[in-house]
A and B are shown apart, each in its own frame.
Chain A
Amino acid sequence: MLKRLALAASLAAALAGCDRGPPSPEAFARHAPALTGRVVDQAQLLAPADEQALAAQSAAIERETGAQFVVVTLASLEGRSIEDYSVRLGRRWGIGRKGVDDGLMLVVAPAERKVRIEVGYGLEKRVTDPFAAKVIREQLVPRFKEGRFAEGVRAGSDALAARLRSRMSDAQIARLDGAAT
C-alpha cells in the first residue's frame, strides 16, 4: 500500500511542472530597428521636418479612424524579401489593434531599391492590392528614381491617408480599384 502511494506521489510530482514558459519572441533579423515612434527612419532618408509631418499625419489618422500607420525606412533587408521582412516586423511591433488588425506600414529599403505597403487584414478592403500597387507605381517609384525619397514618402503617405479617411463603402472602393471582392 505504501509503495503504491509512493508511486502515485512520484507520478504526480513528475507530471507537475508541465507549465512551459511563454515562447521567446522570434528572432528574424539581427539589425531590425526598434519601434521608436510613428516614423522609424533607420535608413536616414527623412529630414526632421518630414518626420514631424508624417508623425502628425499618422496621429491624426489614428485619432479619426483608429488605424495605426507607421513609416519605416530600413538600412538593410538582411537578405530577406521585403514582403517577408515587413510582415515579421509588423507582427513583432504589433502594429494595428488586436482583433481589428488595422495596421498599415509604408516600408522603404533604399539599399535594395524595394518598397512595400504592408496592409493588416482588417484594412484590406480599404487599401486594396491594386490601390497599394498604384500608390507605389505612381507616387513612390517615380520620385525614388530621382532620389527624392522624402518627397515620395510624403506623397505616398498622403495618398494612403486620403484612402483611410475616405467615406466610400468597401463595395465602392472595390469597384473603383477594380479589386475582386
Chain B
Amino acid sequence: MNRTRFATLLLAPAAAASLAGCGVNSIPTAEESAKAKWADVQAAYQRRANLIPNLVATVKGAAASEQNILVGVTQARADATKIQLSGDQIGDPAAMQRYADAQNRLTLSLQRLQEAYPQLRSQENFQTLMSQVEGTENRINISIQDYNKAVQDYNTEIRTFPSVIGAKVFYGAKPMAPYQATTPNAEQAPTIDFGNSAR
C-alpha cells in the first residue's frame, strides 16, 4: 500500500511533465499564433482600403469618363471595410467566406480600374499610388500564406495524437478555417456589376 502510494506520487509529476508536451501548452500556442497571423491579414487589407480614397481622387482628376468604375471601387471598398473578423470568429467558415468575398470583390474592382485607364499608367501620381496598392496586395498574399500555415499547424496539432487528447479533454478545441483569397474562376466570372457591363 505504502509502496503504491509512493509510486503514484512519483507518477503525477511525470504525467504532468509529459502532458506539457501533449497539447496543454502547444494548443493555445498554436491558436494564439493563428490569431496573430489573422490580425496581420486584416491589417494588410486595411492598409489597402486606406489607399483607395486617394487613388479614386487621382483617377477622377485625370479622367472624368467612366465614373461608374470609380463608383464601383468606392462601393466595394465600403463593403469590404464594413466586415471585420475578430480572432474568435476565425473558426467560423461562413463568416470567413463573407469577409473573403467582400475583399475579393474589391480586388476585382481594382483590376477593372487599372484595365479601364491604361493611359494613367504613365502618370506619376497614379504610379505612386498603384505601386503602393500592388505592394500592399503582395503583403496581403504573404500574410494569407502565413495565416493558412498557422491554421494548418493548429488543425494538425488538435487532430494528431497525443495532442488530440489535450484538445478533447482540456480545450474542446475546434478546427479553424483557412482563408481563400481568390474564388475559383473569379477572373472569368466577375461577381460585381458596374451597371454598364454590356458584354
Binds A, one of B10-18, B106-114, B176-184: B10-18
Pick from B7, B8, B54, B138: contact of A180, CB under 8 Å: B54
Within the complex, the shortest CB–CB distance from A69 to chain B, in Å, comes to 18
Chain A residues within an 8 Å CB radius of B134: 129, 133
B33 CB, nearest partner CB in chain A, Å:
13
The minimal Cβ–Cβ distance linking B20 to chain A, given in whole angstroms, is 8
**B32-70, CB under 8 A of A: which get 1 and which 0?**
000000000000000100110010000000000000000
Q: Is the C-beta of B142 less than 8 angstroms from some C-beta in chain A?
A: yes
Cβ < 8 Å to B, chain A residues 97-128: 128
In the complex, B190 has a CB within 8 A of chain A: no
Contacts of A49 in B (CB 8 A): none
Contact A87 B128 (CB under 8 A): no
Known: A18-B21, A18-B22, A130-B132. A12 touches B4 (CB 8 A): no
User: Would you call A1 and B4 a contact (CB within 8 A)?
Assistant: yes
Verify A179–B162 contact, CB threshold 8 A: no
Q: Which of B133-150 contact A (CB under 8 A)?
A: 134-136, 138, 141-142
Q: Does A64 contact B (CB under 8 A)?
A: no
| Minimum C-beta distance from B168 to chain A (A) | 14
Q: Cα distance A121–B11 when bound, in Å?
A: 48
Residues of B within 8 A of A (CB): 1, 4, 7-8, 11, 14-15, 18-19, 21-22, 47, 50-51, 54, 125, 127-129, 131-132, 134-136, 138, 141-142, 162-163, 165
Interface residues of A (CB under 8 A from B): 1-2, 5, 8-9, 11-12, 14-16, 18-19, 83-84, 87, 128-130, 132-134, 137, 177-180
